[in-house]
Chain A
Amino acid sequence: MKLALEARALGKTFRVKEKRAGVRGSLRSLFAPEWKEKTAVDRIDLSVATGETVALLGPNGAGKSTTIKMLTGILHPTAGEATVAGLTPWRERTKLAYRIGTVFGQKSQLWYHLPPVDTFELISRVYELDRRDYAKRRDRLVERFELGPYLHTPVRKLSLGERMRCEIAASFLHRPQILFLDEPTIGLDVVVKERIREIIRERNREEETTVFLTSHDAGDVEELCSRAIVIHHGGVLVDRPVALLRRELLSSKTVTVTLADSEDPATAAEWFGRRAWAPLPEGVELAAIEGKRVRLSVDLALTDMNQLLASLTQAARIADLTVEDPTLEDTIKHIYGMEKTKGGVSP
């Protein structure tokens, strides 16, 4: 397996000036400043294979962006080592720039008053692309990203979705081996998000571009990534395939019951009040009631699914019943609640 990137005990701490309140406090910190050491990333180990799509997840302040910025050579780590596309990012930043692409969701690389095509042209010069190859590549990306209608419109007149598509297309121009995406779909509507994910997937498939992204959007992770690494308090909490993440980490299931029309009284709320269990069996929680639909959250460690379903069908006539894994959003929330231990995680 060829590695696209690897990090060993990569860490970053920095000093923050502590400021006291009030004028006297300000004066004091002017003459006798107090510094506090803050750990942004706590010696993490990562390895990503060529062509893999990996999501780096974590709550705000977990160290995601700092990690990406170390891997792209912007920040110098205070501990550990990393190799990205065969180079040490912070020592060979310019050389690495030819091999990687970056998209920072809240920062723009497009020239505000000029049409995107001008920025594309600048990028082609900066990356020293062959003129004919560049023209071909640009036209192909314009077609795939459907940028034709606004290629010659000043960036300031584009919507956020249109701008982001241009940003991502721009980062693909020089055929990067690894694409780093920091919150690529932030602030976008569902349709645009979907389109952006689709084209990133397509580039990954066709050109084996390794994708490494951070996102707060569970959809980005589910639809784009094969593996998720969750970090919290600067360290790795979980590292496993997205498909297994939900099943393995949460022993709970969501059971949705829709009552048959013939059931009387008509609403599920009343049905629950009169006919179903009181109190609820251990490990079963009432998550929501909407009309005739009841949603239960079931902890399989405490409740047996067979027994639960049997007692449900005995209690009432059921029109529909579904058993689902929890959403990725719920899973991630659950993971954030875990503590980091030496060998893995503990609830």
Chain B
Amino acid sequence: MSRTARILLGAGRKQLAVVRIALRQQWAYKADFLLRSCFLLLILYVLGQLYGAAYEGDYERAIGGFTLRQIVWYLVFTEAITMAGPPVGIRIEEEVKSGDIAVRLTRPLSYVGYHYGSYLGEGALRFFVLLLAGGIVAWLSVGLPTLDYGLLAYLPLAMLGLTLSFLMTAAVGLCAFWVEETRGLEFVVQKLQFTAGGLLIPINLMPEWLQRVCAWLPFQAALYLPARLGVRFDGEEMLRACSLQFAWIAALSLLVAFIFRRGVGKLHVNGG
């Protein structure tokens, strides 16, 4: 085995160990699961009513290519990704501020890699719980989604979407190396993800000029594309979406690595 392959394999094993321990720790937060699931049910109920009024209760009608049933399942899919992601930006900011980053930096494990592993471990568990809770509500209210490859395609696309969400929030959190407060920036990015990501309204229902803007941003690759392909599968589009996600993951990984490298050299750990 070549040296690079050995290093990559070693890094993968470490990453997996972090994912596993984060998953185990996540079991301790049962109240959090319940609260999130209840909140998801509330959102789905309110939005379901809103879209129900827009469609005038007509299950056959399609707006922007989506039927009412597809829209409700679309919401389940986008919300499951959005609500699953742990607040990694806030965690990084707190670690930099409190100096707890010291404990992580003295381990033979990439700092960003550690947070990614922990994000995936926590996020994946939450994602499946939310998907199950939201799915049951959607099933009871509008019935099952179209049973095709969409459901199969959604899972890997959602995992890539979670990775993209991680990279965006981590990039913001890492700004704590320079600025004392990153919450403002995080608020903006989060709200952009909600709007330009198509959390509540699919992007193709938006005005054309906004669709053109969204096409140039990474947010739609995190939410809109996985959810749309989940409810309305198309092989060619799936390939395009996947390539777009990988391209954004590559670009944002470079950005995060750049911010981390520059930032860690400037680090001043509080309290000594």
Partner-contacting stretch, out of A98-106, A134-142, A240-248: A98-106
Interface class of chain A by DSSP: mixed
Partner of B108, one of A61, A74, A97, A111: A97
**Interface residue B14 (Cβ < 8 Å from any Cβ of A):** yes
Instruction: Output the nearest chain A residue to B27 by Cβ-Cβ distance.
Output: A113
Query: Cβ of B268 and Cβ of A75 under 8 Å apart?
Result: yes
Complex interface: chain B residues within 8 A of A97 (CB): 106-109
**Interface residue B63 (Cβ < 8 Å from any Cβ of A):** no
**Interface residue A72 (Cβ < 8 Å from any Cβ of B):** yes
Q: A74-B106, A107-B100, A118-B24 are in contact. List 14 more A-B contacts (CB 8 A).
A: A65-B271, A69-B272, A72-B102, A74-B101, A74-B269, A76-B264, A98-B108, A102-B103, A108-B103, A111-B21, A121-B17, A122-B17, A122-B21, A126-B17
Partner of B103, one of A40, A66, A107: A107
Which residues of A are at the interface with B, using a C-beta cutoff of 8 A? 14, 40, 61, 63-66, 69, 72-76, 93-95, 97-98, 100, 102, 104, 107-109, 111-114, 118-119, 121-122, 125-128, 154
**Interface residue B10 (Cβ < 8 Å from any Cβ of A):** yes
**Interface residue B18 (Cβ < 8 Å from any Cβ of A):** yes
Partner of A127, one of B101, B108, B110, B269: B108
A64 and B272 in contact, given A74-B105, A107-B100, A114-B25 (Cβ under 8 angstroms) = yes
Rank and list the top 5 A-B pairs by shortest CB-CB distance, nearest first: A65-B272, A125-B17, A113-B28, A97-B108, A102-B106
Measured in the bound complex, the distance between the Cα atoms of B265 and A14 in whole Å is 12
Measured in the bound complex, the distance between the Cα atoms of B105 and A93 in whole Å is 8
Complex interface: chain A residues within 8 A of B136 (CB): none
Query: Cβ of A74 and Cβ of B107 under 8 Å apart?
Result: no
Query: Cβ of B106 and Cβ of A107 under 8 Å apart?
Result: no
Per-residue A-contact encoding for B11-35, CB less than 8 Å = 1, 0 else: 0011011100100110011000000
A74 and B102 in contact, given A126-B14, A126-B17 (Cβ under 8 angstroms) = yes
Can you name 30 A-B pairs with beta carbons within 8 Å? Answer: A14-B268, A61-B272, A63-B272, A65-B272, A66-B272, A69-B269, A69-B272, A72-B102, A73-B105, A74-B102, A74-B105, A74-B267, A76-B265, A93-B105, A94-B108, A95-B108, A97-B109, A102-B103, A104-B103, A107-B102, A111-B21, A112-B25, A113-B29, A114-B21, A122-B17, A122-B21, A126-B14, A126-B18, A126-B108, A128-B108
Measured in the bound complex, the distance between the Cα atoms of B202 and A108 in whole Å is 44
Complex interface: chain B residues within 8 A of A66 (CB): 269, 272
Instruction: Output the nearest chain B residue to A156 by Cβ-Cβ distance.
Output: B28
Q: Within residues 100 to 128 of chain B, which ones have a CB less than 8 A from any CB in chain A?
A: 100-103, 105-110
Partner of B102, one of A40, A69, A112, A122: A69
Instruction: Output the nearest chain B residue to A63 by Cβ-Cβ distance.
Output: B272
Instruction: Output the nearest chain A residue to B106 by Cβ-Cβ distance.
Output: A102
Complex interface: chain A residues within 8 A of B105 (CB): 72-74, 93
Complex interface: chain B residues within 8 A of A127 (CB): 108
**Interface residue B52 (Cβ < 8 Å from any Cβ of A):** no
Complex interface: chain B residues within 8 A of A154 (CB): 28
**Interface residue B99 (Cβ < 8 Å from any Cβ of A):** yes
Complex interface: chain B residues within 8 A of A108 (CB): 103
Per-residue A-contact encoding for B91-104, CB less than 8 Å = 1, 0 else: 00000000111110
Query: Cβ of B18 and Cβ of A122 under 8 Å apart?
Result: yes
Complex interface: chain B residues within 8 A of A93 (CB): 105-106
Measured in the bound complex, the distance between the Cα atoms of B7 and A95 in whole Å is 13
A118 and B21 in contact, given A73-B106, A74-B102, A93-B105 (Cβ under 8 angstroms) = yes
Measured in the bound complex, the distance between the Cα atoms of B265 and A73 in whole Å is 10
Query: Cβ of A100 and Cβ of B17 under 8 Å apart?
Result: no
Query: Cβ of A104 and Cβ of B268 under 8 Å apart?
Result: no
A104 and B107 in contact, given A113-B28, A126-B14 (Cβ under 8 angstroms) = no
Instruction: Output the nearest chain B residue to A108 by Cβ-Cβ distance.
Output: B103
Complex interface: chain A residues within 8 A of B271 (CB): 65
Complex interface: chain B residues within 8 A of A102 (CB): 102-103, 106
Measured in the bound complex, the distance between the Cα atoms of B271 and A12 in whole Å is 14
Instruction: Output the nearest chain A residue to B109 by Cβ-Cβ distance.
Output: A126
